[in-house]
Amino acid sequence: MHRFFIPKECLEQDRATISGESAHQISYVLRLKPCDRIIVLDNSGWEFEVEIERLTKKQVLGKVISKKHGKGKPAVKITLYQALLKADKFELVLQKGVELGLTAIVPFISERCVTKKPSGNKVERWQKIIQEAAEQSGRSILPRLHPVASFSEARQSTKQSSLLLWEEEKGKGLKQILQSPSFRSATTINLFVGPEGGFTASEVELAKKDGIATASLGHHILRAETAGLAAINAILYEKGEMG
Residues of the shown chain interacting with a second copy in the complex, contacts defined by CB under 8 A: 71-72, 96, 99-101, 136-138, 172-176, 215-223, 226, 229-230, 233-234, 236-238, 240-243
Q: State in angstroms the smallest separation of the CB of 124 from a second copy.
A: 23
Q: State in angstroms the smallest separation of the CB of 174 from a second copy.
A: 4
Q: For residues 46 and 61, which CB has a smaller minimum distance to a second copy in the complex? A: 46
Q: State in angstroms the smallest separation of the CB of 19 from a second copy.
A: 26
User: Residue 224's closest CA among 203, 190, 206, 199?
Assistant: 199
**What's the angle, vertex CA 133, arms to CA 189 and CA 17, rounded to 5?**
120
Q: For residues 42 and 238, which CB has a smaller minimum distance to a second copy in the complex? A: 238
Residue 19 in contact with residue 59, Cβ under 8 Å?
yes
φ, ψ of residue 185 to 5 degrees: the values are: -95, -5
209, amino acid identity: K
| SS3 state of residue 109 | strand
| SS3 state of residue 63 | strand
Q: For residues 62 and 70, which CB has a smaller minimum distance to a second copy in the complex? A: 70
Q: For residues 16 and 229, which CB has a smaller minimum distance to a second copy in the complex? A: 229
Q: State in angstroms the smallest separation of the CB of 205 from a second copy.
A: 20
What CA–CA distance (Å, rounded) separates 148 from 168? 26
What CA–CA distance (Å, rounded) separates 95 from 168? 27
Q: State in angstroms the smallest separation of the CB of 220 from a second copy.
A: 7
Q: For residues 55 and 212, which CB has a smaller minimum distance to a second copy in the complex? A: 212
